Amino acid sequence: MPALEVVGVSKWFGAVPAVREVSLMAEHGDLVCLLGPSGCGKSTLLRLVAGLEKLDAGSVRFDGMRQEIVAPHMRGFGLMFQDLALFPHMDVLGNVSFGLRMQRQSNDAVQKRVEGLLELVGLEGYGTRKVYELSGGERQRVALARSLAPSPKLLMLDEPLGSLDRVLRESLQGQVRSIIKEVGVTAIYVTHDKDEAFAIADEIVFMDRGSVVQAGAPEALFRAPATELVARTLGMRNILAGRLEQAEGIARVRCAIGTLAVGEPIPAGVLLGGDVLVLIDERALTVVPAQDGPVPVGALAGVVATRAFRGGESELCVRVGAGELVCAVAQRDAGADVAPGDDVTVILPPNAVRLLR
């Protein structure tokens, strides 16, 4: 039996739908990421699951039990807010032990548990610190320890690292995941940052305008994004409008940079002659300086427009036909040496091209 089942949940704020018929599932011990642009309904969905907002439709079950009639403080769920909401009048100890004291646990048990948790999050000996004496990263960890203290059945984290700078965020991502995994709690993690989602999630649920657009393992989403927004959010930039010219055998699609062979299956509902979006994997492309003679099959002739150094790779923007292609080229490849204005040949393996929609 799945731990969390959200079935057909909707929430309206006045005439505005914030969450529209969302369903999702999490197995025990799963770490699910809700990913999507701001305002897509991720946080509202968390609040619905937590019981802080009333459902307009659908149901939330945990271990098969309907949660709608259970008050938020009786559900046994934890929620960590982006602003952390650490209690300003309590020290670290007071914050972390709050949930345990609400459960009326004995002083000994509380103390043991708090010590264990502070050790888990790497804050041994911080018990008597005031909340405002802590650094940003320390506060984050106190909030995490506080959420974990009452042993919630489900832990929800709403952009918990959102207020931190990039370096700190990246170092904490790994820690948060390993702590959650060590505890083994089922968790839902909200973020708008794909790198954070990739670093943390067992499964990603992508939301847009209140609905779930795609759900699956991070690799699956990356390999086959369902919509343009998913593709763009995951960092893909070569998305071109096109028309399906041949559907039998090797499919062919016509777009601004030419007619391309499609190596991946055509999504359902795309008809011959119909409009499609063409997604070209920038890392599967090879760029070589132009040779004399005709352009080989499966390759395109172009001119380098810009070149940007990105450390391990170089990013080339190549004008091809009436369009442009972004090519990420490994530093040691010949393509990395070309300069703006150079004539080049871009080689597209068929599996670099897929159709969306």
Partner 1 sequence: MIASRLLVIGPVTFLAAFFLYPLGAILGRSFGGEVLSLDPFGVVLGDSYYLGRIWFTMWQAAVSTVLTLVVGLPAAYLFARHDFPGKTVLMALTTLPFIMPTIVVAMGFVALLGPQGLINTALTGLFGAEAPQVRVTNTLTIIFMAHAFYNYSIVVRIVSAFWSNLSPLFGESAAMLGAGRIRTFTHVTLPLLLPSLWSSAVLVFVFSFTSFGVVLILGGPRFATLEVGIYELTVKLFRLEVAGALALVQLVFTYVFLLVYTRLQAQSAVPITFVPEEESKRGKRGFRDVVVIVAITGVLLVVLSPLLALVERALSSGGGYSLVHFTGLFSDDSGSYFRLSPQAVIWNSLRFALASMAIALVVGTAAAYVIARRGRGRSGVVDALFMAPLGVSAVTLGFGFLVAFNRAPIDLRGSWLILVIAHSLVAYPFVIRSVLPVLRGMPPHLKESAALLGAAPLSIFIHIELPIIGRALLVGAMFAFAVSMGEFGASLLLVRPEFTTIPVAIFRLLSQPGESNLGQALAMSTLLMVVVAMGFVAIERFRYRNVGGF
Q: Longest C-alpha distance within the chain, in Å?
A: 84
Choose which of 118, 131, 179, 180 interacts with partner 1 (CB under 8 A). Answer: 131
Closest to partner 1 by CB, 76 vs 137, is 76
Rank residues 153 and 181 by Cβ distance to partner 1 and give the closer one: 153
Treating both helix axes as pointing N-terminal to C-terminal, what angle do 92-102 and 136-148 enclose, rounded to 10 degrees?
20
Q: Does 137 bind partner 1 (CB under 8 A)?
A: no
Which lies closer to partner 1 via its Cβ, residue 35 or residue 154?
A: 154
- Report the residue number, 71 or 339, with the smaller CB distance to partner 1: 71
By C-beta, is 116 or 296 nearer to partner 1? Answer: 116
- Helices and strands in the chain, H and E counts: 8, 20
Minimal distance, residue 89 CB to partner 1, in Å: 5
Q: Which of residues 160-199 bind partner 1 (CB under 8 A)?
A: none
What the block records as the tokens of 213 is 């657009």
Among 110, 144, 149, 157, binds partner 1 (CB under 8 A): 149
**Window 291-320: contact mask with partner 1 (x via CB under 8 A):** ------------------------------
DSSP 39: T
Q: Least distance from C-beta 190 to partner 1, angstroms?
A: 14
Indicate which single residue of 14, 106, 108, 132 sits in contact with partner 1 (rule: CB under 8 A). 132
Identify the bridge partners of residue 80 per DSSP, sorted by sequence position: 157
Report the site for partner 1 in 42-101 (rule: CB under 8 A).
50, 52, 71-79, 81, 83, 85, 87-89, 98-99
Residues 202 to 261 in contact with partner 1, rule: CB under 8 A: none
The neighbouring-strand residues paired with 130 are 91
The least distance separating partner 1 from the CB of residue 124, rounded to whole angstroms, comes to 22
Query: And the tokens for 78?
Result: 């934890």
Min dist CB 183 to partner 1, Å, is: 16
Nearer to partner 1, 156 or 257 (CB): 156
| Alpha-carbon gap, residue 45 to 105, rounded angstroms | 31
Token pair of 59 as six digits? 């149901």
Return the closest-CA partner of residue 140 out of 154, 127, 123.
123
Please, which residue, 17 or 76, has the CB nearer to partner 1? Answer: 76
Among 146-154, 194-202, 295-303, 340-348, which window interacts with partner 1 (CB under 8 A)? 146-154
- Count of residues touching partner 1 (by CB under 8 A): 28
Half-sphere CA count of 168, side-chain side, radius 13 A = 13
For residues 74 and 66, the answer to whether their CB atoms sit within 8 Å is no
First to last CA, the chain: 33
> Residue 158 or residue 313: which is nearer to partner 1 going by CB?
158
Considering the complex, state which of residue 81 and residue 216 has its C-beta at the smaller distance from partner 1.
Answer: 81
Angle at 76 between CA 195 and CA 207, to 5 degrees: 30
Cα–Cα distance, 156 to 285 (Å, whole number): 40
Per CB under 8 A, the segment of 19-27, 149-157, 167-175, 311-319 that binds partner 1 is 149-157
What residue ranges bind partner 1 (CB under 8 A)? 50, 52, 71-79, 81, 83, 85, 87-89, 98-99, 102-103, 131-132, 146-147, 149-150, 152
